[in-house]
Amino acid sequence: MKDYVESASGSVVTNPYGECWRTNYADTTEKLEECGYEKAKPVEVAVEVVAAPTAASVTTKVVREVTIGASMLFGFDSAELTHDATAVIDERIQALRGNATLTSVMRVEGHTDSTGPADYNLGLSQRRAQAVADYILSQAPRLNPSDIEVVGKGEAEPVASNDTKEGREQNRRVVVFAEAEATESGN
């Protein structure tokens, strides 16, 4: 586990907040689950089959989504991407793409937990979604800013209970929805 401090037993050393201690401040490509990094799990949401010009292939359009925990992208009460955030976003967009060609990024949603005033959380979620959308646009010059809808949901759509630390952490997230096309050969 290069770039991380290890205990005598070989496990990663964490601070009182559960954050992993590093040996240096350089970017690392090693994203350990015990440090809060999640494995990307693209979810296929809708499917429309379109016949291609030849009978030998079929083009499938799907809307995929990927969720990224806010703790992996932002500091507390911040909408500024952390040093490691760009690598996390790149990894998740690649997982979102899979074997298909992304035709557009349609929507980026920011979500918060219920800590603090609702109107503040709504603004924070909007700023966080915008930060992720801005980074995606900076990496994909063919995308037009009008192709991406940026939405802040605040605390309105929790995926877990806000009564626990773990639940609040799950609720702080950014979700990227993208349309993709995959062509399959019938041969």
Query: Residues 136-156: pLDDT tens digits?
Result: 888 877 778 888 899 999 999
Rg (C-alpha) for the chain, rounded Å, is 19
Q: Residues for the chain: how many in total?
A: 187
Residue 185 has pLDDT above 60, yes or no: no
Q: Do residues 110 and 149 share a domain?
A: yes
What percentage of the chain exceeds 70 in pLDDT?
Answer: 68
Of residues 28 and 121, the one with the higher pLDDT is: 121
Q: Is 40:58 a contact under the CB 8 Å cutoff?
A: no
Q: Do residues 70 and 25 share a domain?
A: no
pLDDT tens-place string over residues 35-73: 766 665 666 666 666 665 555 567 777 777 888 888 889
The per-residue pLDDT for 129 is: 96
Q: Do residues 101 and 23 share a domain?
A: no
C-alpha closest to that of 180 among 95, 72, 100: 100
Q: Is 152:125 a contact under the CB 8 Å cutoff?
A: yes
Q: For the domain that residue 67 is a member of, what is the CATH number?
A: 3.30.1330.60
CA distance 178 to 96: 8
What is the three-class DSSP state of 125?
A: helix
Q: Which domain holds residue 11?
A: 1-35
pLDDT tens-place string over residues 124-134: 999 999 999 99
Q: Are strands 101-111 and 43-51 parallel, antiparallel or unpaired?
A: unpaired
What are the residues whose beta carbons fall under 8 Å from the beta carbon of 130, sequence distance 6 or more? 79, 108, 110, 150
Q: Do residues 145 and 174 share a domain?
A: yes
pLDDT tens-place string over residues 74-95: 988 999 999 889 888 888 887 7
